[in-house]
Amino acid sequence: MRYARPNTPDAKIDFDTRYDNFIGGEFVAPRRGEYFEDITPVTGRPFCEIARSTEEDVDLALDAAHGARARWGRTSAAERANILNKIADVMEAHLEELAVAETWDNGKPIRETLAADLPLAIDHFRYFAGCIRGDEGTLAELDEHTVAYHLKEPLGVVGQIIPWNFPLLMAAWKLAPALAAGNCVVLKPAEQTPATILRWAQLVGHLLPPGVLNIINGFGVEAGKPLARSPRVAKVAFTGETTTGRLIMQYASENIRPVTLELGGKSPNLFFGDILDRDDEFLQKALEGFAMFCLNQGEVCTCPSRALIDRTIYDRFLELAVARTRAVVPGDPLDTDTRIGAQASNDQLEKILAYIDIGKKEGARLRLGGERVRLGGDLEGGYYVAPTIFEGHNKMRIFQEEIFGPVIAVTGFDGFDDAIQLANDTLYGLGAGVWTRSAHQAFRAGRAIEAGRVWTNCYHLYPAHAAFGGYKQSGIGRETHRMMLDHYQQTKNLLVSYDPKPMGFF
């Protein structure tokens, strides 16, 4: 089945020709009156205009957030949880529409937005609605008369800068815990993919008191930077890459503010020799685990883009894996049969092609793909790349940098220690995968790999209530778990004496 494109007859959803910022509960034009084009990677053509904001607009959003802060911070957990649940309900009622919108804005296949992006985003609001209802402070009875109460308070107004690979889901990951904890938010979507979030705000914005959620659009340097640098944000959350991550820490240091950062990785996917012991469902699952590098066109911070295969099964397993991946062919993202869609932007496409180029120059052996795909018709200008499999060694650039495309770099290992050494020979430590029939080996490997999440006999699951975050240069903080609430809360300690007698000290 093929979904009609937005703004055509029978479309599930239409976009407005222009989107302003969402500030104080209404859509507000940018002060300077400038807009930029949002391009759909499906065709490479612009489909709407987005506010190009500057510091004045960020200030306006911060004014609105600070205006709403005291009252929102005092609402009961039940009230906030109810609102988050209502947001989830509205999203669920409009799931197909938002899925089509997200596919159009980002380029990912509708199969994924229907089955993953939207259901996960919806569940995320419900999860944090539940978490905040169950959240509680602590008290310590220090002695007979003295009690230390630890009460949790919202930070106040927080800034969130989100990426373009899962626009709505990444917004949900950051918004749900922040709002649940009682914070007001100024959110800056990526300039590549702002439209769905604004369309979403049209659907759910009225559920929140004005000023609690504010969305500022524009370029990083013009709108993101003043947000990250503002002394009026109590915390900055960012998902992206290392140089901007460092810069955000640097800005935060000017104001002594906390940050949480998710900066990506170069995730190893380890395939141990016992996988081939039997030709069964588990082998098929492991092969699917290899092909997971194609999910979201490889534009995932935890893309399993380094496959490390036991030398004892290397040739046979890779042969099967190449065959499995060959079935993943780029197509119209709005077709429910399409398994891989368009890269999110032209510069992303160019970067992937530049990496394929250096892979070849470094002498890596190309086993599959390795080129841009022209789909013809009006998809001709879209940004499609064939799933690409390289064989090489771990010192090659394609093994060390997250290409953020459907490109996997494959090498072999000799024994457990070599596997772990290769897995950890990276600057990053966000995700990893381990495939084995041995529970002992799975546990040992999972503990030895320096990464925040080790998928074991699975990959690319992103359920709420499993912590997600990085070791090493992959960032700071853990998302998608109730522990993220702590990153959006202050601890107030009331140290109370119930003893009427003086201490007798002075």
Could you give the dihedral angle defined by the CA atoms of residues 394, 397, 401 and 406, in that order, rounded to the nearest 10 degrees?
Answer: -90
SS3 per-residue string spanning 351-413: HHHHHHHHHHHCCCEEEECCCEECCCHHHCCCCEECCEEEECCCCCHHHHCCCCCCEEEEEEE
Choosing from 1, 141, 144, 243, the residue that interacts with other proteins (CB under 8 A) is 243
Taking the complex as a whole, the smallest distance from the CB of residue 118 to other proteins amounts, in Å, to 21
User: Restricting to residues 271-310, which ones interact with other proteins according to CB under 8 A?
Assistant: 300-301
Question: What is the nearest approach in angstroms of other proteins to the Cβ of residue 367?
Answer: 21
Three-class DSSP category at 471:
strand
**Could you tell me which of 426, 66, 429 has the C-alpha nearest to residue 263?**
429
Under the binding rule (CB under 8 A), the answer on residue 239 touching other proteins is yes
The single residue among 103, 401, 420, 434 that binds other proteins, judged by CB under 8 A, is: 401
Per CB under 8 A, 395 contacts other proteins: yes
Distances (CA, A) of 225 to 138, 161, 174, 190, 242: 37, 10, 18, 13, 15
- Considering the rule CB under 8 A, would residue 350 count as an interface residue with other proteins? yes
What strands, in cross-sheet order, belong to the sheet with 45-51? 18-19, 45-51, 35-40
In the window 422-481, what residues touch other proteins (CB under 8 A)? 427-428, 430, 473-474
Contact with other proteins (CB under 8 A): which of 25, 156, 177, 240? Answer: 240
Chain mean position to CA 443: 26
258 in Cβ contact with 238 (< 8 Å): no
Catalytic residue positions?
Answer: 262, 301
Site for other proteins in 51-70 (CB under 8 A): 52
Distances (CA, A) of 143 to 31, 138, 295, 498: 58, 15, 56, 10
Q: Is 397 in the site for other proteins (CB under 8 A)?
A: yes
- Whats the size of the chain, residue-wise? 506
Least gap, CB of 337 to other proteins (angstroms): 28
Q: Work out which of 191, 310, 332, 391 binds other proteins, going by CB under 8 A.
A: 191
Size of the site for other proteins (CB under 8 A): 56
**Interatomic CA distance for residues 397 and 246, integer angstroms:** 22
Please report where in the chains the tokens 């092969």 appear, as a residue: 287
Quick check: 255 binds other proteins (CB under 8 A)? Answer: no
Is residue 152 within a helix (H) or strand (E), and if so which, with residue range?
Answer: strand 146-154
Choose the stretch contacting other proteins; rule: CB under 8 A; options: 19-27, 62-70, 240-248, 476-484.
Answer: 240-248
> Binding residue for other proteins (CB under 8 A) from 27, 173, 355, 488?
355
For the CB of residue 270, give the shortest distance to other proteins in the complex, in Å: 20
Return the residue of 19, 125, 128, 164 that touches other proteins, per CB under 8 A. Answer: 164
What residue ranges bind other proteins (CB under 8 A)?
A: 36, 39, 52, 163-165, 190-192, 219-222, 224-225, 228, 239-247, 250, 262-265, 300-301, 345-348, 350-351, 354-355, 357-358, 361-362, 395, 397, 400-404, 427-428, 430, 473-474
